[in-house]
Every structure is written in C-alpha cells, then in structure tokens.
Amino acid sequence: MENLDKIVDLITDRLMDKIQVESYKSSVFVIGAFDTPDILDREGYQVEKKSSCADIILVESIGFDAMLRIASLCPLTSDEAVVIKSLLKGKKVLVLNELFDFHQYKQTSKALLFQDLQEQYEKLVRYGVQFYKKEELVSILEESTGGENNNPVQDVSKSSSTHKTVEKVGLLTEKKLIEMNLSDNDSIRLKKGMIVTALAKDYLKRHNIKIEE
C-alpha cells in the first residue's frame, strides 16, 4: 500500500509539473510596435501596461542612438531608463535585431569606429540584452517561459547557502526541490497557500530540510 501511495504521488507530481509548464506564460511589456501586443495576447501572454509588472521587456521601437546610450548606461528617455532598470533587476530584455544593425556600416566606416560599435553590441549582450529576429519572437518567448529567468522555482538567496525561498509556484514537488540544489540541514521559506506533495515532504524529511513560514 505504501508503494502504491508513492506511485500515485509520483504520477501526480509529474502531471502537475506538466500542467504548470503548459499554463505558465510570461508577462510582457512592449516598447513600440502596435500590432505586437495583439499577437502576444493571441499566444496567451499577458501584456502589461507597466514595465515593473512584467517578466520580459520587449523592445521593438527604439533608436540606434538610444541603444548606444543604453550601452553607456546613460539613459535620456523613459524607454531607455526602463531597459536599464529591467536589466539591473535581472529581467529578460529582448531587442529587435534591426534596432542596432551596426553591420550596415562595416563597408563605410573606419575600422576603429566599426570596432567600437561592435564592442557596444557585445557590451549590451553581456548586460543581458537578447537580440532577436521578428519571425523568431514567439519561439524565443516560449523558450523564455521555460528558461531560468522565469523558472517557477527560484533561489533568491545570494548571501547564504542555507536559506532559500520558493516563489511563483502553487505546488512544491520533489522535482522542484531537487532542482533547487538544496543541501542537508538547509531551510526553505514557502509562500502562503503553497501545497507540498507527499514525495516532497519525504524528500525534506530525508535531508532534514526545515520549512519556514
């Protein structure tokens, strides 16, 4: 009977994981492009009116000079400030390729100037900007939903290896606990209303991991 209960719990965990991945859609804040919000809405993404409420910042209309100012961390407009603040908060920022198409100047500009432009592009990428092609937007957003920046289980502890917080998830499974790379005698804090499966409880007990409310 005990083995049967574990099998049922295991199946439940797997089904809930699948449902959770399928149902969770990132929220998006769009800079520019009037048609894009409608496209995102049809795909099931929540289009936010405030950048602070969004998981992903989508930039589809911004000047070449604006991208240079963002690379230099010297915003001049509110849109530029949104991009920089979002990067500072660790949010995913997607920028349309053609907005910073420096390659068009390769044949006309001096080598040193073109090299500087390339370095600014690489700096933006290091900051966290992801450039994309228009036709690839939906597939990139789907990858982002399952990516580490939007993973339903997040480790937000930076200063201690013994305390972790679980966010953005209604069900805590054994799989989620394993993904958190917890160590024996660690402690985790659960958000209010979170459900812990039987297998997850067994995992916590085996590794002497404490739950803090």
Q: What are the tens digits of pLDDT across the range 123-163?
A: 999 999 999 988 888 888 877 655 444 444 333 333 344 55
Q: How far apart are CA 108 and CA 15, in angstroms?
A: 57
Question: Which domain covers residue 193, as residue numbers?
Answer: 170-211
Segment among 119-123, 134-138, 168-172 with least mean pLDDT: 168-172
Residue 164 CA: distances (Å) to CA of 180, 191, 204: 8, 11, 13
Residue 44, pLDDT score: 84
pLDDT per residue over 73-93, tens digit each?
999 999 999 999 999 999 999
Answer yes or no: is 206 within a domain: yes
- Please check whether residues 186 and 88 belong to one and the same domain: no
Residue burial 80-93, b: 16+ Cβ < 10 Å; e: rest: bebbbebbeeebbb
Q: How far apart are CA 148 and CA 146, in angstroms?
A: 7
Share of the chain above pLDDT 90, in %: 39
Locus of tokens 């390729």: 97
Residue 175's pLDDT band, with cuts at 50, 70 and 90, is confident
Residue 22, pLDDT score: 46
187-194 contacts, C-beta under 8 A, 24 or more apart: 187/162, 187/163, 187/211, 187/212, 188/163, 188/164, 188/212, 189/163, 189/164, 189/165, 189/213, 190/166, 191/165, 191/166, 191/167, 194/166, 194/169, 194/170
Residue 136, pLDDT score: 86
Domains held by the chain: number:
2
Average pLDDT over all residues of the chain: 79
- Please check whether residues 31 and 132 belong to one and the same domain: yes
Residue 198, pLDDT score: 76
- Please check whether residues 29 and 93 belong to one and the same domain: yes
- Please check whether residues 199 and 110 belong to one and the same domain: no
Answer yes or no: is 148 within a domain: no
Quick check: 5 and 15 in contact, CB under 8 A? Answer: no
From the number of C-beta atoms within 10 Å of its C-beta (0-12, 13-18, 19+), residue 22 rates as exposed
Residue 12, pLDDT score: 67
Residue 181's pLDDT band, with cuts at 50, 70 and 90, is confident
- Please check whether residues 120 and 203 belong to one and the same domain: no
Answer yes or no: is 201 within a domain: yes
- Please check whether residues 115 and 196 belong to one and the same domain: no
- Please check whether residues 120 and 191 belong to one and the same domain: no
- Please check whether residues 181 and 82 belong to one and the same domain: no
The neighbour count for residue 23, using CB atoms within 10 Å, is: 8
Residue 158, pLDDT score: 36
Q: Which residue has the higher pLDDT, 133 or 200?
A: 133
Structure tokens that stand for 44 in this block:
């099931």
Residue 164, pLDDT score: 57
Residue 1 CA: distances (Å) to CA of 5, 8, 73, 83, 174: 6, 11, 62, 55, 20
pLDDT per residue over 15-54, tens digit each?
655 554 444 577 899 998 778 888 888 888 888 989 998 9
Specify which residues 189 forms β-bridges with. Answer: 165, 212
Mean pLDDT, residues 48-75 taken together = 94
- Please check whether residues 33 and 84 belong to one and the same domain: yes
Residue 148 CA: distances (Å) to CA of 6, 145, 155, 197: 29, 8, 10, 23
The neighbour count for residue 141, using CB atoms within 10 Å, is: 23
